[in-house]
Amino acid sequence: MNERSSSNSQYINVQSSLAVPSEPVVAYITGDGIGSDITPVMIEVVNAACKKAYGEQRKIDWQEVYAGQKAFDLTGEWLPKDTLDAIQRAHIAIKGPLATPIGGGIRSLNVALRHQLKLNTCMRPVRYFDGVPSPLKKPESVDIVVFRENSEDIYSGIEFKAGDALCEKLISDLKTVYSVSNIHYPKQSGLGVKVISEPASKALVRRAIQFAIDQNRKKVALVHKGNIMKYTEGAFCHWGYEVVVDEFGGEKVGGFYEIENPHTQEIIQVEDIIADACFQHVLLRPESFDVIATMNLNGDYLSDALAAQVGGIGIAPGANIGDTCALFEATHGTAPKHAGKNKANPSSLILSAEMMLRHMGWTEAADYVLQGVENAINDKQLTYDFARFYEGVDPISTSAYGQAICKRM
């Protein structure tokens, strides 16, 4: 395992200039489905950690804002402008899972939030907690932070429906105007166009490398499919290396680039790897990865696959970070069949709140949250999703799990 600047840290503030008052407003979205079960527990845990760390000197002023079904029931809108305005004013927000409205209007509420708030980086730290059931023999080898570009690729892609006149014209133009005659287009073919830009690619790689510097991480991997998609994913890799050389003084040594960490004078290795090979390697030798920087679709697959290696997305936190605000979120879905039953695992949202506290610079409270989660799991205080893998361990409720964390900080 790599040496870290803090042995407890799940995530450290990547926006160190953030000025946080002693009683900051934090906007929160309860979420759909199990959101009403897990969000109050998250707030209870965060409040307990802040009180233990700071007494009455620091506390969060929670402001509920609305998105999803609750917003629609109250306002007739799935994502009201008031919600976006409130998050921008607060600069910090956290949300439970949101369902995608059926029948049109908004393709995805999660994507809409990221786009409209300009949250261009999705950050997913994946690490193992002792006692969590895992399919791996050595899940403790997984300690990887995935930086996923949040605004482009499939999130800004354009699709053309098979059989539509515009789609047929585009196929004709590809064959004639652009001389793409070596590709067979069967009848009733749909087409998709993806967007990968230099500014977004460089911003993502820049943030990943800066994180590696700040957190004393030793390796950064640029993951892409540039061997096939040379002008999109290949360009991402090329632009990423430009950042390495032009902005961080990287030099090529053998098959990778080296950057000197200005804080420690140690070397950070930067290399690129084809996406399909990366999937195999993170499974067979995850200890060889540290920080991953990649585009939207690759990052979506990789972060969920890595989460499965350490117990599933139920215990995987996430953050969406922009230049002016950050939105922390549960990474799983709404699980409507479990909603209202007080049985869902709130760990993903609680650990996302731990990331949020570090983003705010409240590291003492964040450490208490992490300590509480680790100790609760070690003591087999588990919700049904984990308890079912252990003989003789009775599951506890969502709320009881939150109380177990608070008692073990």
Report the catalytic residues.
Answer: 155, 225, 276, 300
d(CA 237, CA 198): 10
d(CA 136, CA 134): 5
Residue type, 124: R
d(CA 155, CA 107): 10
CA angle 141, 305, 370 (to 5 degrees): 55
d(CA 248, CA 213): 10
The contacts of residue 16 (CB under 8 Å, 6+ apart) are 214, 361
Q: Are 386 and 133 in contact (CB under 8 A)?
A: yes
H or E stretch at 338: none
Q: Are 239 and 272 in contact (CB under 8 A)?
A: no
The runs of H, that is alpha helices, within 153-290 are 165-176, 198-214, 233-248, 275-284
Q: Are 144 and 282 in contact (CB under 8 A)?
A: yes
Q: Are 87 and 93 in contact (CB under 8 A)?
A: yes
What are the structure tokens assigned to 386, written together?
């984990």
d(CA 239, CA 246): 10
Q: Are 377 and 371 in contact (CB under 8 A)?
A: no
Residue type, 232: T
* 3-state DSSP of 19-56: CCCCCCEEEEECCCCCHHHHHHHHHHHHHHHHHHHHCC
d(CA 260, CA 255): 17
d(CA 153, CA 193): 9
Distances (CA, A) of 65 to 75, 116, 124: 12, 16, 24
Chain centroid offset of residue 161 CA = 30
